[in-house]
Structure 1
Amino acid sequence: MVGQQRQLQRLRSVILHLFVFGFALIMIYPLAWMLSSSLKDNSEIFINAHQLLPSHFNFNNYINGFKGFAGTSFIVFFKNSLIITLFSVIGTVISSTMVAYGFARIRFRGSRFWFACMMLTMMLPSEVLTIPQYIFFQKIDWINTFLPLIVPSFFGGAFFIFLIIQFLRGIPKELDESATIDGCGRYRIFMQILVPLLVPPIITVSIFKFYWTWDDFFSPLLYLNSPKLATVSLAIKNMSDPTAQTDWGAMFAMSVLSLLPIVAVFIAFQKYIVEGISTTGLKG
């Protein structure tokens, strides 16, 4: 009986691993196809689309892709995306952490009402805010600049604020009281005691904000009109010209390179993503 149970457990384990492996192949196939297409000639990409291995490797696609379009190198587009993403991450982390500290640790009149208002903003579709925001930014002459893509990040995000609040609620308030007795004000309590303890959720917030900003296509399309200000996602779309022959190989090559920062960030900080989400879910 014991031997049969062990065999059944091994069989279940083998079936489970085969299922996971097959599912992983399905998920990774589009990425493998894109990588393969970035090394094919344009004539081969769609004719032999079912073949992952190109008949010969064409690395000129990456050289042609870096040339960009409209006289602007693709390095400029990477620089634009990096500037917008880094400043957006910094603004989101600073503002969301400060607002979360206010809601979690400071009792003020109407705190529950404002917290409810903040949570309600998570239910608003982004499409509802598009036209009012565009009109506002147009009135203050921010169109065709990076400001509409960066400045709103310095006013926090409801999802990120809630995530940090949940973590703060798991930190004993006795730490604040002990620091107050020792003569610390709210600023020192926040910066020297709580912020070092908030490293897991802060890194989680940074990673999610990095992903969402780097991959954003709609906002740059809406606010950026000059080709020299285009982000990576917008530049890749502009490489596809319906009125002329599109260099699909170069387009796929730049698509592959655009994924490298995301993959690098995920590999470097994946343990913090799990730690940040699990601790915010368990505490409080």
Structure 2
Amino acid sequence: MTLGKKKYLATFLKYAVLIIVGFIMVYPLLWMISATFKTNNEIFSGISLWVNDPTFSGYKNAFKSYGGDINIMTAMINTYKYVIPKVVFTIISATVTAYGFARFNFKGKSFLFAVMMSTLFLPQVVLNIPQYMMYSKMGWIDSKWYLPIIVPTLFAIDTYFVFMLIQFLRNIPKELEEAAEIDGCNVVQTLVKIIVPMLKPAIVSCALFQFMWSNNDFMGPLLYVKTPARYPAAIFVKLSMDGDVGFQWNRVLAISLISIIPSLIIFFLAQNSFVEGISAGSVKG
């Protein structure tokens, strides 16, 4: 076999394996989409993607409201009322905090950094009760502005994002900031005009992570949101499961699919920056 044929065969096998593995990974999503058009009996009859008797009842019922208070569109709007501010505030606070730890020396820096990193090992479940008691005393429970969910992100509580940005900042030469200082830029101008543009891939990665995690968050809204009209999509999906009369699984799957469509769209639009940010932030310069 010639060298050219060997390369062709190797390329063919590589892409064949990638296509097969990719199809296996995406198959659950494809099945979920097809199942939204199936009846309960057909859903549990097998794992085929083919729909024998298509029905649109799942999507029709998905837009029905509960007691006139909430439907899937209201739930989606409620979700992004706190998801978007969380993403914005997380990026701002994490960037400022990472810049401080990466570029400045101050008393107690090593200790504070160690304390911050130690919070990575602290499970959220142990914080739920004290946080709930604190927010309850502050009168934030069931706030129409979702204060218990949004406000903490102003203080860089997501240590993972801070650490990720610090790792990325270590790859940026300090000479760029020195040149900006010579040109008359102060610290804030240097951060905004020099550092932030270079941090764009890492910032996009942090934003995507926060966006997806906040979309999927169930415990936070369950603890702090009491009014049904303000429930997000994560809780609305649970509401769609009526245990008294049995589940309409095509309806449950249709609601689930509708709720994840924005996340899928945003991820595919920003996937290049996302991959670049993850790969660059994982290597210390």
Map Cα deviations across residues 4-52 of structure 1 (whole Å, 9 max, x no partner). Answer: x655555554444343333223222221221111111234322x33332
Correspondence for 2:102:
104
1:94-173 superposed matches below 5 A: 94-145=92-143, 146-156=146-156, 157-173=158-174
Corresponding letter in the other structure for 1:53: W
Over 3 Å counting, the alpha-carbon distance change for 1:182 and 1:242 in structure 2 is same
Query: 1:263 Cα deviation (Å)?
Result: 1.1
1:225-254 deviation digits (Å, cap 9, x = unpaired): 222111111101111021223222211111
What is the rounded CA distance, in whole Å, between the counterparts of 2:261 and 2:191 in structure 1?
A: 35
Q: Paired residues, what number?
A: 281
Is 1:70–1:227's contact at 8 Å kept on the other side of the alignment? no
Residue of structure 2 aligned with 1:92, choices 75, 90, 93: 90
Where does structure 2 lack aligned partners over 5 or more consecutive residues?
none
2:260, 2:25 → 1: CA distance? 15
Deviations 1:157-211 (A, max 9, x none): 2111111111212222122222223332211111222222221111111111111
Secondary structure of 1:56's aligned partner:
coil
Distance 2:29 2:67 in 1: 28
2:187 and 2:169 map into 1 onto residues whose CA distance is 15
In the other structure, the counterpart of 2:238 is: 237
Please give the secondary structure, in 1, of the residue aligned with 2:242.
coil
- 3-state SS in 2 of match to 1:141: coil
Q: Within 2, Cα distance between the matches of 1:184 and 1:6?
A: 56
Residues 242-261 of structure 1: matches in 2 within 5 Å? 242-261=243-262
Distance 1:132 1:49 in 2: 46
Distance in 2 separating the partners of 1:186 and 1:8: 56
Q: SS state of the match for residue 282, structure 1? A: coil
Distance in 2 between residues matched to 1:182 and 1:37, nearest whole Å: 61
CA change 1:42–1:69 in 2 (3 A) is farther
CA separation in 2, counterparts of 1:136 and 1:76? 29
Separation of aligned partners in 2, 1:151 and 1:192: 26
**Residues 1:8 and 1:106: Cα distance change in structure 2 (over 3 Å):** same
Q: Any conservation in 2 of the 1:62–1:253 contact (CA below 8 Å)?
A: yes
Whole-angstrom CA distance in 1 between matches of 2:17 and 2:55: 35
In the superposition, the TM-score normalised over structure 1's length comes to: 0.92
Residue 223 of structure 1 is matched in structure 2 by: 224
1:18-29 maps to which residues of 2 (within 5 A)?
A: 18-29=16-27
C-alpha separation in 2, matches of 1:279 and 1:24? 24
Do the aligned partners of residues 15 and 192 (structure 1) sit closer, same or farther apart at CA in structure 2, a change above 3 Å counting? closer
**Worse-superposed segment, 177-186 or 234-243:** 177-186
The CA deviation string for residues 83-128 of structure 1, in whole angstroms up to 9 with x for no partner, is 1110110010000001011111121111111111111111111222
Alignment of 1:49-88 (within 5 A): 49-71=46-68, 72-88=70-86
With 265-274 and 149-158 compared, the bigger mean Cα shift is at 149-158
Using a 3 Å threshold, how does the CA distance of structure 1 residues 77 and 282 change in structure 2: closer, same or farther? Answer: same
Paired with 1:51 and 1:116, the residues of 2 have a C-alpha distance of 51
Q: Secondary structure at the match of 1:278?
A: helix
- Aligned sequence identity (%): 38
**8 Å contact from structure 1 (residues 137, 148) kept in 2:** yes
Label 1:226 to 1:244 Cα distance change in 2 as closer, same or farther (>3 A). farther
Greater alpha carbon shift after TM alignment, 49-58 vs 114-123: 49-58
Residue range with higher mean Cα deviation, 242-251 or 205-214: 242-251
> Aligned partner of 1:66: which letter?
F
Aligned to 2:264: 263
